Each structure stands twice: as structure tokens, then as C-alpha cells.
Structure 1
């Protein structure tokens, strides 16, 4: 390899591996936070009382719509709580009146979450997986650029 190639591979590898590392660390932090939430939480049943429509536009002007469930439940202290889920879908994953299992911290019942893989683990798995892929894509040329040349 020529010096320009070595420089390119080192720069490319460093950028990709660096960005990937940030994503992996973010995924791990989100996963640890989720694990902590689960450890402190009480499981109870809630009811979907509404579906909130969120519409967004991409840079090309195309719009997309997702429906986020609003859940109502009563905390162990007897206080009625309503919260909007962190994830939505189209078509809606839930219907009004549907019972769902939720998790909530008794000290912060407003931060409740639906007890589903998507609501609890998707973000952590996506960040860690995507970050790992970036580390591999950047790491291979980075390592190769440091190997002795013949």
C-alpha cells in the first residue's frame, strides 16, 4: 500500500470505529438504565385510553404517521396516572380499551413504560448492534493499515 492509501484507511477506520464506539457506549448506557428501571419497578395492568397521532416529514417532504398509545393506570398509592408510550407504530399496535402490562417505579409513576421488548430494549439493542457494525467496518481497514507491508 502507498502512503496515501494507508492514510485514507487509518482516517476512514478511525472515524467509523470512533462513531461506532460512541453508539456502543450509548447502547450499553441505555441498556443499564433499562435494567435498573426493571429492577426498581412494579408490574401492573393499564388500559389504552387513546392513540395519539404523530406525523413527521423527512428531508424530501414525505410524511409518515405513527400512533402512540396513551395508557391509564392506578399507582400503588391510589393515584391515577396517564402516560404516552415512547414508541408508536402504523398501523397502531394497540387499540383503545386494550389492557397492557406496564412497569413503573413507585417513586416516579409518571415514567411508566409498557412491558414489551420494543419499549424496553429496542433502543439499547439498536445502538449496540449498529455501533458494533461500525466498529467492525472501521476496525478492519484500521488494523490492516498497521500491518507490515511486503
Structure 2
């Protein structure tokens, strides 16, 4: 799977979280210059959107609709706390947790979800890459006999399981046979397998730590 494509998830997630923070910071700064007062719910619009009435000055009646609609929610006759701009009284909003935080929390939650998905995909890739580089420096190169190409049911993308190369090597010092599995491949490598043996970098102290060399395979297009 292309690493650059995987970065889309945390980038989009960070962007949504940033928007949520900007919106919430704007709301806080806005309220610093606004006036707090009370109003009354005079009607419910659509799916429970409260129509609020208040009087910023004697004889001046202002109505506005709440930003978040919900059922159950407000009822006609309810008294609500609100903020309004003294220079533009029609610019007002209800002072409640739902009205103040709903949009920011939704954007932030979606952003966090995308970020976690991205990290869940990128961290294993990073660990595999780190192990590969470490074994390239300190590992022992062995020639393992190619056995088969298998599908990995535990690693899927769009419900399509990844491919893996399977090979085996008999450790001459112990007489034990070790099975090695390549990293996940997102295209069918069968047409590109021309060798009976594959190079595997093995940790001399622990053969369970290894990296199957797949550099001879073509790269998947972006």
C-alpha cells in the first residue's frame, strides 16, 4: 500500500481538528465582546430548531433561530441564556453546551477518527520499515527456498486480502526449518517470481526476526 496515500488519513484528520479549534476559538473571542441576557423560545422550527425572542433594548424585539436542532430539545415558553452583539443584536446565539460545542465536537471527533485510522495504518508500516533497515545493517543474509504465494486474510484493503511470499530455510546449526513470510503485497506477484530462492535477512540471535527481500518486485503505481 502506498505510504503517501496512507498519509491522507492523518492529514485530513489534522485539518478537521484544526478547523474545529479555529471555530471554537472564534466563538470564545466572539463572546468576550458580546452581552449576556435571557430570551424566550417562542416557537420550534423544522426538526426542533428553537426560535428565540429577546429584547436588547426597550421596545426592540429580536428573534433568531438556534444553530443546533434536536428532538427532544426546547419547548415553547422555555427561558434560555444567550449572547448577542450590542452593535448587531440580530447576531446572537444560545449559551448552552450543545449550541456552543456541537459543530466543533463533531468536526473534532471525525478528525480524531481519521487521525487514528491513519496512525493504525502507518505505525505498522513504519515498524516494518525500521526492522528492514536494522536487519539490512546487522542481519545475516540467507537463501530461503520459495514455497508459495498466499493470501493474508488478516490484512485486507477494500475487502481484498493482501498477497504474501512464503519461503523456508533450514538452519544448518540447529537443523530447524523456518518459514518466512514477506510483507503484505497489494498486487499479485506471481508473474514476477522467477527465482527458486529468495534472500532473507535474519537476526543471527533470533531467526524469528527477519525480513524477506522483495526489492526485485516492481512497485505498485500511485
**Both proteins in one fold, TM over 0.5:** yes
The answer on 1:67 being equivalent to 2:48 is yes
RMSD value, Cα: 1.8
Greater strand share, 1 or 2? 2
Name the counterpart of 1:129. 109
- How far did residue 77 of structure 1 move? 7.0
1:39 paired residue among 24, 32, 39: 32
- How far did residue 11 of structure 1 move? 4.0
- Partner-residue secondary structure (3-state), 1:86: coil
Looking at both structures, which has the greater relative contact order when contacts are Cα pairs under 8 Å and sequence separation is at least 6? 1
Name the counterpart of 1:103. 83
Report if aligned partners of 1:45, 1:99 keep a CA contact under 8 Å in 2.
yes
Q: Which runs of 5+ in 1 are unaligned?
A: 54-65
Q: Once superposed, which parts of structure 1, at least 4 consecutive aligned residues long, lie more than 4 Å away?
A: none
Name the counterpart of 1:85. 66
- How far did residue 125 of structure 1 move? 1.9
CA radius of gyration, larger in: 2
Q: If the length of structure 2 is used for normalisation, what is the TM-score? A: 0.54
How many residues are paired up?
A: 130
Greater helix share, 1 or 2? 1
- How far did residue 140 of structure 1 move? 3.4
Task: Tell which deviates more after alignment, 114-123 or 125-134.
Answer: 125-134
Q: Distance in 2 between matches of 1:29 and 1:107?
A: 23
Report if aligned partners of 1:52, 1:70 keep a CA contact under 8 Å in 2.
yes
